[in-house]
Structure 1
Amino acid sequence: MNRVVVTGIGLISALGNNLEDSWRHLIAGESGIHLYQPFSELRSLPLGLIGDRPAEVKSLTQQAVTSALQDALLVAPLPDCGVVIGSSRGYQAELEKMARWMYEDKENFNFSTSPYPPIPPYGLRHLLQVGEPAQRSGLPSPPPFLSSLPHMNAIAAAQIIGATGTVLAPMAACATGIWALFQGFNLIKSGHCDQVVAGAVEAPVTPLTITGFDKMGALAKTGAYPFDVNREGLVLGEGAAVFVLESAESASRRGAKIYGEICSFGLTADAYHSNQPDPQAKGAISAVKQCLHRADISAKDIDYIHAHGTATQMNDRMESLVIQKIFSQGVAASSTKGSTGHTVGASGALGVAFTLMSLQHQILPPCVGLQESEFDLNLVREARQSDIKRAMCFSFGFGGQNAVVVLGNGSDFKKN
């Protein structure tokens, strides 16, 4: 079976517009989270924005995919390259804009301060009537409906790459990023592709997303503090992490640099609740054990855990239980969401990117925002050098979707 390595990474986050800047700010213990009020009808909240205004999925995808190809020294078109680009929210922001076209709430919505266009509602007929007919009618054209369907972001990535083969668009809530990597991993393992561009992109800062999480009582008021006794909840963040995956043979053949190896995955579901994790963490524990078994290693072989670490009460409690039940007390762990915010479907992909940088530089990233831990874990307070051969990333999504991955430092490939 083909071994799978990572030869390129494109990353954008609230910490920086590229992988190197984001990593540099992370290990310095900095945070990209600040107070914003992007929508006048909603209160100010801590958010991990990339710019001053909410980002668009399309532009994040283009930047991340292009950066990943450049980093891997690949030039489009790549017709035989597989494409797996996931997103939990996809073009939800565009769909919300379309809803504004149809239902204008003049009393509660201030068009003058909103990033959404001040266009009156013309109904569904005009929503679908785009392009030349709308121009002839004298009406402004609404955002095109078809280009905002969930799978179209993966199609857009394929167009950038010039890929004419397999194109997949997974959606698995906050586990989407690792699920996308799993699908890309399988395309190479099966011999279907030698190269796959895989990852996840998310621009979740929209009125509906903010309001939904707020109604659930899940949003923080001042910042993200994973595993802290005074944690308040999650902070929404924007971001993208896209990887070039290759068979080891393909990477060796073209002399590509290697960040690390993707060793195995564990994927389970709780079948418990729509938005609460199983308090006994049975599904998450099963996913970790499944992942270790498939990598043919034991828990003691893991040197670092990149935790999901959302800073919500239930997730951090459940995740701590998983670590304590399976791993030794000495295993190092941290969550990077105190720096980037929770990038929802892209969070697992960002976690993998930061973990690969940890393996490459042999540095443990800090759990930014942590002051006083509630849990008996070896949480990394400040970045430090460490011998890291294998690491595991956790990602747990709404609906009880559990995804974990084991990464190796690829030392045997690098020597060759």
Structure 2
Amino acid sequence: MNKLPVIVSMGGINAAGRTSFHHAYRRLVNEVLDDETMQSTWQDLARLMKLEQTELTQETIQKIKDGTLIRRIESQHFDPANVYYQRSASLHHENGFEFSLKKRQLPEVIPTEWQITELDDGMVSVNCPEHVDVLLPGHYKMEVSSAGQLPSGFDPSQYYHSKYHPRGLTMTVFGASDALQSMGIEWDTVMDNINPDLVSVYAGTAVFQADEYGAGGLYQNPLNGSRISSKMMPLSLPEMAADFINSYIVNSVGNTGTNVGACATFLYNLRQGVNDIQSGRARVAIVGSSEAPVVPEIMEGFSVMGALATDKNLNKLDGTDNVNNRRACRPFSDNAGFTMAESAQFFILMDDELAVKLGANILGSVPDVFVNADANKKSISGPGVGNYITMAKATGLAKRILGEDGLQRTFVQAHGTGTPQNRVSESHILNQVAETYGIKNWSVTAMKAYVGHSLGPAAADQLAPTLGVWQHGYIPGIKTIEYVADDVIQDNLNILIDHHYVGEKGSEMLAAIVNSKGFGGNNASALVLSPAQTETMLTRKHGEKAMAEWQQKNQHVSATAKQYDEKAINEGIEVVYQFGEQVMTEQDVAIDKEKLSLTKFKNNIDLSFQDSFSAFLD
């Protein structure tokens, strides 16, 4: 058996709450879970949202519900009814203009037609001709007021010294730290069992760090009378999430980077991690994405494309004058566009041998991720053929692993953006694949209905609740819709409107396919196996004795992970952020022909390559 990449931990945050220990998943399906099960999740959200902790009342729970999932854009981002802008104007007066200002406010290159007169207190008087070009400040009402936002009151920048860090990077630190501590195994223990270069970190954004501390400030400050800081350029780069994880969270010298693929970015990075584990280039992979695009410029850019659900179009669907922000995203029903969102999601994978050896938690496994482009098409934003290929490959692999009967016990986490074009194109793809492989009534759901479209992390927002199905047994239904649109092809599909029970710990489902259709033709589909199916396969490979030993070790690992969760709920989260710690220089490096050693690591990096190319020289 090839090396199987096993998911051993997850962490992060989106509009539903904290990812680890299935808290965000439970927020999605809270209606069907009992009060005892929901208690810890409500408490966790109350702490994150800085709500009163003395007693968890129904009033508090209602505040939590109101302050999570898709909702009206809140003031912590901006006021969609009062967005700042500047309009260019030409002023004319037949007698010219005279005004005064501080001397230091004069432009560096003074127009030749200006006449400057020195005044007292560092002031000058300016006389200029009858024509002056100016920028007039103003405000406008944005056509879109809905977004999937992190829980109200939660600020990731408050969890560590984050001065001038873009929001997406503060979310990265919180999310990756959450995943690391949720593993239940000390990172030093992991590193003591592998060579230090056998770690892969793939994480980034689909766009860039877009707020005032990143590219937003880089582009806007010169026009707003402010300076560009030394941090704005480097911290705006898409791969900076991986860089922060390597340098400040796990102290990694292994494989790194990000593979940007628009809305499929997370699955592209997941594929990199899976490939590294299967090829032996890594034994551990940290994979994720963090995106904070709820800023006026990014949203306006998508809005003018006609991609976002505007208030006007939502009202038209509902026949009302009062926009229903909660139901802004309506996958596979009559809809008006997608809903922007922010999210940070991170997953830790190990090769199966290491996972068994360390007694790691088994949340599922990823045998492969398939990526294909759309080929020639009329519009770069239009659908193409690539997603047929990725879905067919992922389904074909599921059949190979699970067999004909097992294939019937799978479900689909659809891309499900909530756009009129997606509901037709993706439903046709899924329906045709189901028909080809003889899948009857294939269950399909779409998480963007709850948390919106977070661009880079979007598929991770689908993967996390997929794993939740195998903990609590419910596939979340698309609760923002009341019916499936007439133009949706669903002969072989069961598009879930209500939460769908699939047995204790999701036992009726052996696998799921997470699908992503990215802008520009970036298609990806991942096959994800259930924990039970994963354990069955590992037992076949490693034997019952090895798995019994794994189970014994896992008791301690699970208990340690649970302690972290309980502390996070009751006392709050302490993130891992090791700025300036364990720094290595050239004094810490020793090299010979067989190995490279670093003072901060127990094991060496192997330089005795075993390649298949030297045979060409014989």
Aligning the two structures, in what range does the TM-score lie when normalised by the shorter sequence? Answer: 0.7 to 0.9
Q: Which residue of 2 aligns with 1:283?
A: 386
Alignment match, 1:225: 330
Q: Following TM superposition, by how much is the alpha carbon of 1:264 offset from its aligned partner in structure 2, in angstroms?
A: 2.0
The AA in structure 2 aligned to 1:242 is F
Instruction: Give 1:49's aligned amino acid.
Output: Q
Contact 1:28 1:383 in 2 (8 A): no
1:343 to 1:75, Cα distance in 2 relative to 1, 3 A: same
Partner of 1:4: 5
Tell me which of 166, 180, 185 is aligned to 2:274. 185
CA distance in 1, matches of 2:534, 2:263: 31
Does 1:87 find its partner at 2:208?
A: no
Distance in 2 between residues matched to 1:283 and 1:33, nearest whole Å? 30
> Is the 2:391–2:430 Cα contact (8 Å) retained in structure 1?
no
Distance 1:324 1:292, change over 3 A: closer
User: Match of 1:319?
Assistant: 426
Q: Which amino acid aligns with 1:157?
A: I
Amino acid paired to 1:267: V
Q: Residue 368 of structure 1: CA displacement?
A: 2.6
Aligned amino acid, residue 15 of structure 2: A
Q: CA deviation at 1:247?
A: 0.6
- Residue by residue over 1:261-284, the C-alpha shift from the partner in whole angstroms, topping out at 9 and shown as x without a partner, is 112222111132321212xxx221
The residue type paired with residue 17 of structure 1 is: R
Q: What residue number does 2:29 align with?
A: 27
- Is the partner of 1:174 in helix, strand or coil? helix
Counterparts of 1:12-411 in structure 2 under 5 Å? 12-19=13-20, 20-28=22-30, 32-36=69-73, 38-39=78-79, 40-41=82-83, 42-43=141-142, 45-52=145-152, 56-76=167-187, 78=191, 79=196, 80-93=198-211, 94-104=214-224, 120-122=225-227, 127=228, 130=230, 143-159=231-247, 160-220=249-309, 221=311, 222=325, 223-229=328-334, 231-271=335-375, 272=377, 273-278=379-384, 282-295=385-398, 296=400, 300-301=407-408, 303-327=410-434, 328-374=439-485, 375=488, 376=490, 377-386=493-502, 387-411=508-532
Percentage of pairs with the same residue: 25
CA distance in 2 between counterparts of 1:359 and 1:82 reads 26
Contact 1:264 1:292 in 2 (8 A): no
Question: 1:302: Cα distance to partner?
Answer: 5.2
* Structure 1 outlier segments of 4+, above 6 Å: none
Aligned to 1:175, the other structure's residue is in SS state helix
TM-score by length of 1: 0.86
* Structure-2 separation of matches of 1:100 and 1:340: 29
Gaps (5+ residues) in structure 1?
105-119, 131-142
Per the TM alignment, residue 260 of structure 1 is displaced from its structure 2 partner at its CA by 0.6
**More RCO (CA 8 Å, sep 6+):** 1
Instruction: Name the CA shift for 1:329/1:61 in 2 (closer, same or farther; >3 Å).
Output: same
Measured in 1, the distance between the counterparts of 2:354 and 2:411 equals 28
The whole-number CA distance in structure 1 between the counterparts of 2:333 and 2:442 is 18
Look up the equivalent residue of 1:266 and give its one-letter code.
Answer: F
Secondary structure at the counterpart of residue 236 of structure 1: coil
| C-alpha contact (below 8 Å) 1:175/1:402 kept by paired residues | yes
Deviation at 1:381, TM superposition (A): 1.9
Structure 1 counterpart SS, 2:6: strand
Query: Which residue type is aligned with residue 215 of structure 2?
Result: L
Greater CA drift, 156-165 or 182-191: 156-165
- Count matched residues: 380
CA contact (8 A) 1:305 1:334 kept: yes
Verify the 8 A CA contact 1:359 1:408 in the aligned structure 2.
Answer: no
Instruction: Give TM-score scaled by structure 2 length.
Output: 0.59
Q: Which residue identity is paired with 1:85?
A: A
Query: What RMSD, in angstroms, separates the aligned Cα atoms of the two structures?
Result: 2.1
> Residues of 1 paired with 2:238 and 2:272: CA distance?
17
* C-alpha distance in structure 2 between counterparts of 1:360 and 1:90, whole Å: 34
Equivalent position amino acid for 1:411 in 2: A
| C-alpha contact 1:301 1:390 (8 A) present in aligned 2 | no
Query: Aligned in 2, Cα 1:283/1:402: closer, same or farther, shift over 3 Å?
Result: same
Counterpart secondary structure, 2:263: coil
CA distance in 1, matches of 2:410, 2:533: 18
Report how far residue 329 of structure 1 moved. Answer: 4.6
Q: What does residue 136 of structure 1 align with?
A: none
